[in-house]
Amino acid sequence: MLKIASYNLHKCRGMTGPHAPLRNLAVIRSLDPDIIALQEVDFRLGARPEALPRNLIQSETGLVPADIYGTTESSLGWHGQTILMRPHLAEQAVVRRLPLPGLEPRGAVALRLPGLTLIGAHLGLARSSRRAQLARITAQASRIAEDHIVMMGDFNEWRDDRGLESLAGFRVVAPGPSWPAPLPRLRLDRMALSTNLHVLETGVFNEAGARDASDHLPIWARIRFP
């Protein structure tokens, strides 16, 4: 059984600033996931330096970042995406980057563990881009996954009946409104899981100052393998 989560950090600036990554780390620590996919872990311009300081992650959360070659040498993630996990899982993990199509540069991160492939993504603002990106992700997942698949992240999709056509063979979970964090109205953050995975619990996390730490609230799920 694993507790998995997804969290858009909004560059650790809350809704409007200032840059305060300890708030986000406190949220992750309180959420206490086994694996968490993060979005917007780097600043957007220039060399895209890390917004979430990697030297604080393990001491503040007990988790370690995926061993991934970032967008630049100063980046924590690939196009702003990374995955944190418990150290014993990191010892077994193989990570790869997945370039995505679209009007703006986007990428996903695939984490392979024995029996599980987990993909973290931050999809585009245009629905046409999101459709193309999900089609690419599901096609890649079918090629690299050995068994069970979980895709999760900021899907940027507020509709349940449009834009998610490529996920027809998966169980799509949107635990609840996660944006904007102070008064959430839209279910932008989602998960898509292989139908043979058992989903025991899901939720939107709003404790430990989460409403102030980012413009998104984290989502989470407890899953069990058959």
Residue appearing with tokens 């196009």: 79
Whether the predicted pLDDT of 221 surpasses 90? yes
What's the chain's length in residues? 226
153-211, pLDDT tens digit by residue? 999 999 988 999 999 999 999 999 999 999 999 999 999 999 999 999 999 999 999 99
Which residues contact residue 183 at a Cβ distance below 8 angstroms, ignoring those fewer than 6 apart?
Answer: none
Whether the predicted pLDDT of 98 surpasses 90? yes
46 — pLDDT class (breaks 50, 70, 90): confident
For 224, the enclosing helix (H) or strand (E) is strand 219-224
Tell me which amino acid residue 139 is.
Answer: A
**How far does CA 20 lie from the centroid of its chain?**
20
Q: What is the mean pLDDT of residues 98-111?
A: 91
Q: Global pTM? A: 0.96
Whether the predicted pLDDT of 146 surpasses 80? no
CATH of the domain at 90: 3.60.10.10
125-129: long-range contacts, CB 8 A cutoff, minimum separation 24: 125/156, 126/102, 127/157, 127/162, 127/163, 129/101, 129/102, 129/103, 129/104
* Domain coverage including residue 105: 2-224
Total count of domains within the chain? 1
